[in-house]
Amino acid sequence: MATLQPENNFWLWGTWGKRVIKAPFLTQKVPGRIRDVIIGHTFIIALREDGHLVSWGEDKVGCLGLGADLTTCSEPRQIPFPPDFAGKVIDVQYGKHHILALTSLGKVYSWGDNANGQLGLSDTQTRYEPVFVEELRSYTVIQILALDGMSYALASGGVVYAWGDNKDGCLALEHDTPRVLKPEPMMKMKETEVKKLAVKECGGAGGRGKTVIAFVELADPLPDKDKIGGFEKALGEGEEVTPEQVLTEPMEKDIFEGVDLMRRVMDNTQDWWNHMLDVRHGAPYDDNPIQVDELNAKQTDADNCTALQLDTFVGLDILEKASYELDMLIASAKEQLLEIRQKKGTKNVKFMLSLFMDDCKLRREKIRRTVAARQLMDHKKGIAQADENIDILNAQGIPPEDLLGTATSQLTSTLTRIRNLKTYDLFTRVLQDSLAEVLESKLQLVATQMEVVKAKSGMAANPSLPALRIIKERWGDLKRFSIYNLFQECLLRGQSMSFSSDDEMLAFLVQSSDAKVDHIIQIDRDKLASRDPLLPGICYDLLQENAELRKMCNTYQLKVLLMKEGKTRPGDPGTR
């Protein structure tokens, strides 16, 4: 029979005997799960799920319960009970130096220090192993309580029994005998039925006072609806079954067909899932170094590459192929969803397919974002290579104006490629805009250097010309942009783009046109980085105002086009 291995039992911190544990300490000694623990000054007793008690540590007065010859034990050992023991232990209590245990049959056992009779065995002899409390044999005990040198037991009839240290009458019995050696009923409470015992910390002398409470009118347990995460009522509670709700043979047939359909769809989805794992790319990154990511662990068996390394170093063509594979999986799942949407009992299957498609879409978006970022990184490397080429030409003695012309040509070409690069999300779009801002700034710097070279050569030079040229280019972009062309494009794509109303098409066109205009002047939002201090601010303000006016005109122009659409096609000359 295999030996059970110790598990993570419990964390321990705070004051323990003479020690102060400031950092939580994980106990991993007891095999199996535990229900409760007793923390003594130098020992621990654990109540296991199977009802056995185990103890370890050191105790000279027998609290370990392992026998007189074993008062020190470094590893957990099961506490032996008498041969006639029946049932299992369901509760264990610890006083000052003695232990009480309650069984599932309502019987009480005790061991440890007995100087004041707190074991209830009619003597003051210390016990090193559990002993049955004979005086309570006739009663079914439902709760036990150990407090310092005192012991209490609550019987099923609501009577409380007390024994042990009775100095100053602290047991609250009818007499003040210093030591009570066996359980005695607390007659002062005989007129009421006690439901539960509890000990409450109440400060007291030296901040160590404790008060015993016996509940009489005890509230019922919390109903399910009031428990954390509970429901207003149990499943099916308060619902009457109507004749229409009784399962008929056609209904049973539908149920079994739904179960079979679920099995087949789940098999398909499992195959798709395995294929998605084989695609590998687009998997989430493992951001927890101490947690094993089973998905990534499976992926790294072949080449020992993490998901981040795959996205960073694999060829872009492979990433594009992976994106295509995910497109195929999404299409397959969508086709399956359309196939079963009219069938009964498919709610769970639809939910599972929707989750699978969302996972595929997220992975595809991640791949597209990676591709766009990689392409932008390549263009950024191209900028560095262009700088190296300029350095080489400079070393060869090429005239400054030729060097600056070459730099302008390379920077302009790179800027065009970056602007034409397709981005899929906010992050790559921001990266694209940032690179474009850098290149525009560098182009302006090169143009300024060109003016400096002209000045040194005795030619007419204007240091404001580069900044004005950029404003002119943006102004030209605004002029070249035609909302009419966008309207025509929507008409040409009418088979793939449909609108429920003219207002919906109008809103789409206005939104698209505004986005294009905003993108043209977006770089001027950061005035400190984009504006040349040699130019008056009104130049830039006029550019932005022109853009806003064009957006207002776009709306007006679209309304006119829609009004004429019923009379004259926009392609006719008279509509321009």
Domain boundaries, the chain: 10-215, 252-368, 398-463, 470-576
Model pLDDT for residues 239-252, shown as the tens digit of each residue: 565 666 566 677 66
* pLDDT over 90 at 321, yes or no: no
Model pLDDT for residues 421-459, shown as the tens digit of each residue: 777 777 777 787 778 778 777 877 777 777 777 777 777
Least confident segment among 52-66, 84-98, 456-470: 456-470
Q: Rounded CA gap, 576 and 573, in Å?
A: 6
DSSP state of 6: B
The string of DSSP letters for 308-374 reads: HHHHHHS-HHHHHHHHHHHHHHHHHHHHHHHHHTTSSS-HHHHHHHHHHHHHHHHHHHHHHHHHHHH
pLDDT at 408 (0 to 100): 78
* pLDDT over 50 at 573, yes or no: no
* Contact present, 190 and 172 (Cβ < 8 Å): no
pLDDT at 502 (0 to 100): 63
Smallest Cα–Cα separation from 445: which of 384, 532, 536? 532
Bridge partners, 111 (sequence order)? 99
Residue type at 287?
Answer: D
* pLDDT over 70 at 405, yes or no: yes
The alpha-helical segments, DSSP class H, found in 142-281 are 249-279
pLDDT at 494 (0 to 100): 47
Model pLDDT for residues 22-43, shown as the tens digit of each residue: 889 888 889 889 999 999 989 9
pLDDT at 110 (0 to 100): 97
The mean per-residue pLDDT over the stretch 120-124 comes to 95
Residue 568: pLDDT band with limits 50, 70, 90 = very low
Q: What is the mean pLDDT of the chain?
A: 79
Q: Rounded CA gap, 43 and 70, in Å?
A: 13
Model pLDDT for residues 258-272, shown as the tens digit of each residue: 777 778 888 888 888
* Contact present, 129 and 123 (Cβ < 8 Å): no
The CATH number that domain 10-215 falls under is: 2.130.10.30
Q: Rounded CA gap, 183 and 188, in Å?
A: 15
Smallest Cα–Cα separation from 444: which of 420, 479, 472? 472
Q: Between 341 and 356, name the one with better pLDDT.
A: 356
Global pTM reads 0.44
Smallest Cα–Cα separation from 112: which of 90, 129, 92, 134? 129
pLDDT at 522 (0 to 100): 67
pLDDT at 419 (0 to 100): 77
Residue type at 475?
Answer: W
pLDDT at 527 (0 to 100): 59
pLDDT over 70, % of the chain:
74
SS3 sequence of 257-312: HHHHHHHHHHHHHHHHHHHHHHHCCCCCCCCCCCCCCHHHHHHHHHHCCCHHHHHH
* pLDDT over 80 at 165, yes or no: yes
Task: Name every residue whose Cβ is closer than 8 Å to that of residue 288 and which is 6 or more positions away in sequence.
Answer: none
Least confident segment among 72-86, 186-200, 217-231, 359-373: 217-231
